């Protein structure tokens, strides 16, 4: 038995689970990233950004880290800051699920809220969050690791997530991921493309604006980039063979279906991928050859208990949809 002595050693090497569908010519593999200690693949982001900052002497013991986040990166940074002896402040807004914010606080992190009307000069909320993180780091002698533009973020996924997926499923036909900063899919996708024949499919919430400036509001909180915001540098769209959208209703009802009928409690981007995988496979002709698809299950549904898993929240936003559940039931057997 391996005995680990550092929390960092528990990050990565996550398991793969194959799930059953009504299509025997397809295999779907879930890379279960919620097995990471703070519950998401963003533990990899936190580790690579902190390792880089420590090695380059930018981050020294006792300093404070300031980072803008939709929740998971902040949760991961709060965990590793506690483990490595740093202070941490997450720059967030009201779109982050309450459960993620509570976890950040549980790890001893502080929350700095930005709101739409805080910065009267305008600009998008994500941009305001990013500027605030930079400003606070400068004013207080801390550091902003910048998960959006810092190339160490995708590099960490190239070295770890991409390599692991390739070793676990070397002959995958498709890798499906979602895009926010774009770091996880760009980094892992690059490794996979350099080593095999796998095609990369990038998904974003319907309304998000990575590929079109005409976005609109959406409730999915992990992936996506709102219209009008300055796009992150870490996304490498040239790696993607296909790009598509999944709407809130489809993602959230898929999360609920998987928890209730498969015992798999997954987050919002996973709901998107599982719904999309069904649509994609159903649109493909039945073939002799078995095809393989890997989905990056980025986080756990535990972060959405007051969100997609809350009946009242779903009803209030008119997001419950039996039709989605029925479609899923016929496909995921």
Q: Are 154 and 234 in contact (CB under 8 A)?
A: yes
Handedness of CA 157, 161, 164, 167 (dihedral sign): negative
Query: Segment near ligand PLP (CB under 6 A), from 77-85, 108-116, 175-183, 203-211?
Result: 175-183
Single residue of 14, 21, 132, 183 touching ligand PLP by CB under 6 A: 183
Q: Pairing relation of β-strands 26-32 and 16-19?
A: antiparallel
Is 204 a binding residue for ligand PLP by CB under 6 A? The answer is no
Q: Which of 169, 179, 293, 314 lies at the binding interface for ligand PLP (CB under 6 A)?
A: 179
**Scanning residues 299 to 328, which ones bind ligand PLP (CB under 6 A)?**
299
Helical residues (DSSP H) of the chain, grouped into ranges: 42-55, 72-84, 98-106, 125-139, 152-157, 163-168, 183-195, 248-262, 268-283, 311-316, 322-331
Residue showing the smallest CB distance to ligand PLP in the complex: 222
Please report how close the Cβ of residue 144 comes to ligand PLP at its closest, in angstroms: 16
Nearest residue (CB) to ligand PLP, 63 versus 165: 165
Q: Of the candidates 144, 181, 198, 254, which one interacts with ligand PLP according to CB under 6 A?
A: 181
Size of the site for ligand PLP (CB under 6 A): 18
Residues in the chain: 333
What are the residues facing 291 on neighbouring strands?
A: 26
198/303 with CB nearer ligand PLP: 303
208 touches ligand PLP by CB under 6 A: no
Alpha-carbon 154 to chain mean position:
13
Q: Does 189 bind ligand PLP (CB under 6 A)?
A: no
Q: How far is the CB of 286 from ligand PLP (least distance, A)?
A: 31
Distances (CA, A) of 17 to 32, 157, 222, 247, 266: 7, 20, 22, 25, 13
Asked if residue 160 binds ligand PLP (CB under 6 A), the reply is: no
Reduced to 3 states (helix: H, G, I; strand: E, B; else coil), residue 274 is helix
One residue of 142, 162, 207, 267 binding ligand PLP per CB under 6 A:
267
Is residue 89 a contact residue for ligand PLP (CB under 6 A)? no
Interactions with ligand PLP, residue window 59-88 (CB under 6 A): 70, 72-73
**Binding ligand PLP by CB under 6 A: which of 109, 182, 207, 226?**
182
Q: Helices 248-262 and 268-283 meet at what angle, rounded to 10? A: 90
Q: Using CB under 6 A, list all residues that contact ligand PLP.
A: 70, 72-73, 178-185, 222-223, 267-269, 298-299
């Amino acid at each position: 038995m391996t005995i680990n002595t550092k929390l960092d050693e528990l990050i990565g090497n996550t398991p793969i689970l194959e799930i059953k569908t009504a299509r025997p010519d397809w295999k779907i593999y879930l890379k279960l990233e919620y097995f990471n200690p703070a519950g998401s693949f963003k533990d990899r982001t936190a580790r690579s950004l902190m390792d880089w900052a420590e090695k380059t002497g930018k981050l020294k013991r006792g300093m404070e880290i300031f980072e803008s986040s939709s929740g998971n990166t902040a949760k991961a940074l709060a965990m590793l800051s506690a483990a490595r002896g740093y202070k941490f402040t997450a720059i967030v807004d009201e779109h982050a699920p309450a459960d993620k914010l509570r976890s950040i606080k549980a790890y001893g992190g502080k929350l700095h809220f930005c709101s739409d009307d805080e910065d009267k000069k305008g600009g998008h909320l994500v941009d305001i969050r990013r500027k605030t993180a930079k400003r606070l780091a400068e004013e207080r002698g801390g550091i902003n690791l910048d998960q959006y533009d810092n190339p160490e973020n995708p590099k960490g996924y190239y070295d770890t997530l991409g390599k692991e997926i390739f070793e676990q499923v070397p002959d995958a036909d498709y890798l499906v991921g979602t895009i926010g900063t774009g770091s996880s899919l760009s980094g892992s996708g690059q490794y996979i493309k350099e080593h095999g024949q796998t095609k990369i499919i990038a998904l974003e919430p319907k309304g998000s604006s990575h590929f079109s400036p005409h976005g609109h509001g959406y409730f999915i909180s992990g992936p996506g980039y709102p219209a009008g915001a300055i796009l992150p540098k870490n996304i490498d769209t040239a790696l993607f063979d296909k790009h598509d959208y999944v709407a809130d209703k489809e993602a959230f009802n898929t999360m609920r279906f998987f928890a209730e009928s498969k015992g798999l409690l997954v987050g919002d981007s996973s709901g998107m991928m599982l719904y999309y995988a069904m649509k994609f496979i159903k649109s493909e002709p039945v073939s002799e050859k078995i095809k393989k698809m890997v989905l990056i299950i980025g986080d756990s549904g535990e972060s959405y208990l007051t969100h997609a898993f809350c009946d009242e929240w779903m009803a209030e936003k008119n997001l419950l949809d039996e039709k989605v559940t029925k479609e899923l039931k016929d496909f995921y057997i």
